[in-house]
Every structure is written in structure tokens, then in C-alpha cells.
Amino acid sequence: MSDTNSLGFETRMIHAGAAPDPATGARQTPIYQTTSFVFKDAAQAARLFSLQEVGNIYSRLTNPTVSALQERCASLEGGVGAVATSSGHAAQILALFPLMSPGKNIVAADKLYGGSINQFSNAFKRFGWEVKFVDTDDLDAVKAAIDDDTRSLFCESLANPGGIVTDIEGWAAVASGAGLPLIVDNTMATAALCRPIEHGATIVVNSTTKFLSGNGTSIGGVVIDSGNFDWSASGKFPSLSEPAPEYNGIKFHEALGPMAFTFFGIAVGLRDLGAAQTPQNAFYTLLGMETLSLRMQRHSENAMQVAQHLENHAAVDYVSYAGLPSSPYNSAAKKYLPNGAGAVFTVGLKGGYDAGVSLVDNLELFSHLANIGDARSLVIHSASTTHSQLSDEEKTSAGAGPEVVRLSIGLENAEDLIADLDQALAKSA
Ligand SMILES: *Cc1c(COP(=O)(O)O)cnc(C)c1O
């Protein structure tokens, strides 16, 4: 099959990047558990090191199991190439690394995963990268925050934790008006529910830890490039447009065209930052992705049933789930997430902080832990955990106030989940 990309989404979930193993005929993608690859001869080694030939050298750069994952992720998101990383956070660094330098800034949505707000506010500052957080829903504020030193815009498609759907086309229009790339974190939706590149995103990042692997086994991330951005036009992205002395002075964009960002991510990003994904984790994630759309559909159907039930529960103040007609994001969900609004949403409890803590302690089927996107249903009280390092103001603006409990609805029987929530809410009331 020469062009997998012309096939339907469900076919690509299984076949993209995963031809039978050329060496053994193995049908499932083997785990290439090796650090290094033998060169055919000295001349080939020299060609590989100077990027004149593409091939495997060392698993910090490339590995066949990891390459299969990269190809599958690029195919499902509609990109030209992808770089897999050791975690979702590593993917965010790797996406920004080619674009940023000290003194430059990122305009980022304020509705982000709590860990991302920490990473952006603390670690990036030490790199000399400034972050300007803006209201996700205020496109005028996004535009106003951009200045001559801005090098990228960053938002989440479906924002963690609270059922917020970002107007990706609005953000993309602002980015392209300013000649800047838009990076979209698509972790919560996945390509099965939303494809940001089709709505104008330049780059997509994903924590593969969550729904892509789907079983809570493997930390990982991926950066997918649309191949649509002209890295040379503005002179603002010298890593991609100017000569790289260590590679015989090649200019990545001139030499590699739409693959420039992906090649830079491997040949410089993974080489120097070292945040490569392991072949074992890539294997588990490839396995998970074979059932991605089935799982996302079931996650969304279960979440909808549980959200509807909770919305009418006496102990519940509000439910933030974009799939509910009562959500201010319901029309955006219909546009950007037509196949379902995902598994994760937040519930505001009338009993505040104490009721939240009591609920997580009394649930039996739900596991109280810091993850989303598992086959199992998960729960966390954000204010005392994932968002505890944020100020009260940041907590509330990130949708994680003291009364908020975040649910990640799994693939179990929805009625069992509802019964578990009812018994735990009865105890916490
Ligand atoms: C979990 C998560 C991340 C970070 O991914 P890790 O794999 O935990 O590093 C980033 N963004 C979102 C939306 C997430 O849910």
C-alpha cells in the first residue's frame, strides 16, 4: 500500500506507519529494543550523519517502532510529519524549541492543563521565553497580546479540565494575520474527535499518555507539523531558515521544504534535548491507537450520560461539559467536535472544597489519581492536587476552583458509573 493517507480514518488507525516488518514479515510492529543501528559501510555512516541519507543511527534520534508511531500520528492528524517524545510536556518543549530564543514570547490561552501552566510560567521563564496568558475566548485580547517578539500562539482544542472548546479557526486567523504559527494541544480530543490542522493550526501537540495509548500504561508525547507554514518569509525563525553549521550549513526550510520542522525536531531537538520516546512505550501507544475512534465514541457517549445525570443531581451546582445543551461551548462543540465532546469534564459541587474531597474518598469504581484518558474512570479534586501550585485566581480562571471535581469517564457500563457517583455523593452531602 503506497499511499495510506488516501484511506479512511479507521483504516489509518490500524495501518498507517505499520507495514509488515521488512526483515521478518512480523505483522504487528515489533519493539525494536536497541539503542543503535549498524552502518552498511563508512560512506553510509557519513551520509546519515550529514542528513544526506535518512536512516537509523541511534534511538535518541530515530527508532523503527517510534517511527511507526510518528507516521500514524501524522496521518491521523493530517500532518506531513511527526516527532514522538518522552512525554506530552517534552512535546510542548520540542514544538517551541525551533521557534523560540531568549527574549521572545508565546501568546497562550489561559485555559490550559495545570501542568502546562506551570511549565509555561516557571521553566520557560528560565529559558528566557516569556509567556503572555490571554483569555481563551477573547480573540481581541489574543491579537492585542502579539508584539514583534511573539513567535507562536498556543491553545488547547478541548481545554483541560473544564469542557471548554477553543475557537481554533478564530485563533488560526489571528495567528496567520500576524504571520505566526499556531500550536494546538489536541490531547483531550484526539484526532478522532477534532483535527486542528483542518481548522488552520500549524502544529499539533499531543500527550500520548492519555487517550492515544488509552490504557494508562505509557508516558509519551508527539509533535505533528502541518507542513503549511513558510518558515523563511518573516526572518523570525532563523533555526529553520538560516544555515545550520553542524550540518554543512544546510538551511532546513530550503533543503527540506514542508518536512523542515520535523527534521529539525529530530536532528536538533531530540539530538540536543534528548527527550526521545522509548520503543516499548511507542508499541503500547500504537496498540492503543488501533481502537482510538471506537474508544473516543464510547468515552463520549458515557460522559454524556453521566454529565446529564449529574446536571440534575441535588448535590451538584453545575456541570461543565461541552456536550450538554446547557454549555456555553455547545455550539463550538458541534462545530469542532462533531463526533462527541470527549471523556473529561468538571463538576461544581454545592458543598465546595469539603464535598470535593469527600467525593473522591467515597467513590469505588472511579480511581482517584492524576491522569485522564484511561479505559477506567478516573477522578481528581483539582484544587488540592493538579492545580494546587496555582494561585486562587489562577485556579478559578483555569476552571479548577475549590468546588471543582474533574472526571475522566472510562469505557465501563455508564449505569454502574452513575450508581457509584450517586452513592458517593450521598455520603458527601
Ligand atoms: C497530560 C497533559 C499534558 C502533559 O502530558 P504528559 O504526558 O503528562 O507530559 C499536556 N497537555 C494536556 C492537555 C494534558 O492532559
Tell which atom from ligand 1 comes closest to the C-alpha of 90: 9
SS3 content of the chain, % helix, strand, coil (to 5): 40, 15, 40
Query: Best of 96, 119, 209, 222 to mutate for ligand 1, by most ligand atoms within 8 A of CB?
Result: 209
Instruction: Note whether 296 and 211 are within 8 A (CB).
Output: yes
Query: Best of 86, 165, 207, 407 to mutate for ligand 1, by most ligand atoms within 8 A of CB?
Result: 207
DSSP assigned state of 6? G
Same topology between domain 20-288 and domain 293-428: no
Query: Best of 210, 277, 344 to mutate for ligand 1, by most ligand atoms within 8 A of CB?
Result: 210
β-sheet bridge partners, residue 276: 85
| CA-nearest residue, atom 1 of ligand 1 | 207
User: What is the C-alpha separation between 136 and 171, in angstroms, rounded?
Assistant: 9
Which helix (DSSP H) or strand (DSSP E) does residue 406 occupy?
A: strand 404-408
- The CA-atom distances, in angstroms, between 5 and each of 1, 229, 289 are 10, 20, 16
Which CATH number is 20-288 given?
3.40.640.10
| CA-nearest residue, atom 8 of ligand 1 | 88
pLDDT at residue 1, rounded to an integer? 44
β-sheet bridge partners, residue 219: none
Residues 6+ apart with CB under 8 A from 416: 365
DSSP assigned state of 58? B
pLDDT at residue 265, rounded to an integer? 98
Q: Does any ligand 1 atom lie closer than 6 A to the CB of residue 221?
A: yes
Q: Map out the domains of the chain as residue ranges.
A: 20-288, 293-428
pLDDT in tens, the chain (429 residues): 456 778 999 999 999 999 999 999 999 999 999 999 999 999 999 999 888 899 999 999 999 999 999 999 999 999 999 999 999 999 999 999 999 999 999 999 998 988 899 999 999 999 999 999 999 999 999 999 999 999 999 999 999 777 899 999 999 999 999 999 999 999 999 999 999 999 999 999 999 999 999 999 999 999 999 999 999 999 999 999 999 998 989 999 999 999 999 999 999 999 999 999 999 999 999 999 999 999 999 999 999 999 999 999 999 999 999 999 999 999 999 999 999 999 999 999 999 999 999 999 999 999 999 889 999 999 999 888 877 877 888 788 777 889 999 999 999 999 999 999 999 999 987
Helices (H), 78-231: 88-96, 114-118, 124-126, 139-145, 168-177, 190-193
Q: Cα of 88 to ligand 1 centre, how many Å?
A: 5
Q: Does any ligand 1 atom lie closer than 6 A to the CB of residue 113?
A: yes
Q: Cα of 320 to ligand 1 centre, how many Å?
A: 20
- The CA-atom distances, in angstroms, between 61 and each of 86, 96, 115, 262, 424 are 12, 18, 26, 12, 48
Q: Cα of 116 to ligand 1 centre, how many Å?
A: 7
pLDDT at residue 116, rounded to an integer? 94
Q: Cα of 240 to ligand 1 centre, how many Å?
A: 26
For the record, the C-alpha cell of 143 comes out as 491579537
pLDDT at residue 3, rounded to an integer? 67
- Exposure of 133 by Cβ count < 10 A (0-12 exposed, 13-18 middle, 19+ buried)? buried
Q: Does any ligand 1 atom lie closer than 6 A to the CB of residue 88?
A: yes
- Exposure of 413 by Cβ count < 10 A (0-12 exposed, 13-18 middle, 19+ buried)? exposed
pLDDT at residue 97, rounded to an integer? 98
Residue range 293-428 in CATH 3.90.1150.10: yes
Q: Does any ligand 1 atom lie closer than 6 A to the CB of residue 114?
A: no
Q: Does any ligand 1 atom lie closer than 6 A to the CB of residue 186?
A: no
